[in-house]
């Protein structure tokens, strides 16, 4: 009898969760969490992809085995490229995705240890805007508001001028492209907001100038060096994201997908409206998902727009 009880205790000790996370619909809509209106299908896809950080074996602790396998395969990505128009709700959705990621980290007993880091080590998330004003007034304001109005997060965070520090050494930063905002951080998530609005070419001739391409590569390298398996870079853009922001081999993959894409000059102009589904690509080990604008441009009236 005692042997069986010891085995039971060993199973409990092996469980990395302090509590099992609720599903995304509950997290978004329940008054115990965010208390927001339901999202559209493509918005839920963005949030799930931004926040899928668990190993498949651990998903099986609170999902059926087949469901866990499908969830892992569909949403475990290193990179998301979301291209959509004004008022489509991409900034709103990214704040929800970041909040859900923080929530899922806090559900772990020791988030850093779960990812093979020293116990209690820092895990950092950052949103990078075009400038300081956008950094303060768009993403960060929306993110802080959601956290402050959520009963579940009460007592688990401290809000600062340009960061929100959570329990278990988790911090969400608000950065912008006009200054170095990631040096020394243990980045798991970097959201590059309105990436097409970043400078595309260096006017000084300096190869290290803060162009969109240079910023993307810097954050990609930083995330990969800290969390190579589950770290994520999210590129949010309006409808003229430049192909040149993507690695060359990934551009080659895009051009091969001619049944879905029509690459015009150096832009992906209007191409996402021709897509029938999200496209997943693998380039140098980076698993990328392209989310189609086609669905975002037809959101139901109940879905939050441009917030």
Tell me, what's the pLDDT at 110?
Answer: 97
Q: 37-68+78-296 in CATH: which number?
A: 3.40.50
Helix, strand, coil abundance in the chain, percent, nearest 5: 40, 20, 40
Average pLDDT over residues 295-302: 31
Tell me, what's the pLDDT at 115?
Answer: 97
10 Å CB burial of residue 110 (0-12, 13-18, 19+) is middle
* Partners of 127 in beta bridges: 174, 191
Question: What is the spatial order of strands in the sheet that 232-237 belongs to?
Answer: 157-159, 163-166, 170-176, 123-129, 187-192, 232-237, 79-83, 286-291, 279-283
Decide the pairing of beta strands 170-176 and 163-166: antiparallel
Band the pLDDT of 171: cuts 50, 70, 90.
very high
Encode pLDDT of 9-44 as tens digits: 545 568 999 999 999 999 999 999 999 999 988 889
Q: Where are the domains of the chain?
A: 37-68+78-296
The DSSP string of 62-79 is TS-HHHHHHHHHHH--SE
The DSSP string of 206-260 is -TTS--HHHHHHHHHHHHHHH-TTT-EEEEEE-TT-BGGGS-HHHHHHHHH-TTT
Q: Higher model confidence: residue 82 or residue 165?
A: 165
**C-alpha closest to that of 79 among 304, 272, 281, 301:** 281
Tell me, what's the pLDDT at 301?
Answer: 31
């Amino acid at each position: 009898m005692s042997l069986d009880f010891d085995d039971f205790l060993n199973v409990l000790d092996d469980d990395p969760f302090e509590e099992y996370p609720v599903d995304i619909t509950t997290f978004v809509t329940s008054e115990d969490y965010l208390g927001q209106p339901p999202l559209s299908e493509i918005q839920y896809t963005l949030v799930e992809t931004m926040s899928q950080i668990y190993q498949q074996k651990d998903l099986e602790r609170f999902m059926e085995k087949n469901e866990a396998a499908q969830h892992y395969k569909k949403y475990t990505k290193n990179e998301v490229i979301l291209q959509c128009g004004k008022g489509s709700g991409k900034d709103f959705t990214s704040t929800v995705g970041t909040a859900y990621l923080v929530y899922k980290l806090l559900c772990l007993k020791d988030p850093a240890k779960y990812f093979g880091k020293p116990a209690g080590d820092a895990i950092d998330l950052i949103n990078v805007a075009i400038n300081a004003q956008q950094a303060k007034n768009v993403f960060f304001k929306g993110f802080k508001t959601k956290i402050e109005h959520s009963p579940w997060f009460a007592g688990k965070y401290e809000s600062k001028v340009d960061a929100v520090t959570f329990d278990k050494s988790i911090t969400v930063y608000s950065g912008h492209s006009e200054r170095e905002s990631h040096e020394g951080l243990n980045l798991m998530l970097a959201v590059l907001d309105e990436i097409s609005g970043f400078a595309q070419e260096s006017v000084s001739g300096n190869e290290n100038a803060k162009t969109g391409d240079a910023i993307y590569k810097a954050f990609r390298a930083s995330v990969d060096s800290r969390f190579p398996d589950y770290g994520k870079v999210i590129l949010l853009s309006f409808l003229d994201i430049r192909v040149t922001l993507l690695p060359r081999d990934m551009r080659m993959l895009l051009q091969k997908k001619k049944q879905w894409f029509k690459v015009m000059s150096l832009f992906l102009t209007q191409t996402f409206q021709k897509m029938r589904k999200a496209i997943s690509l693998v380039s140098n080990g980076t698993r990328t998902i392209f989310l189609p604008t086609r669905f975002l441009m037809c959101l139901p009236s109940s879905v939050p727009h441009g917030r």
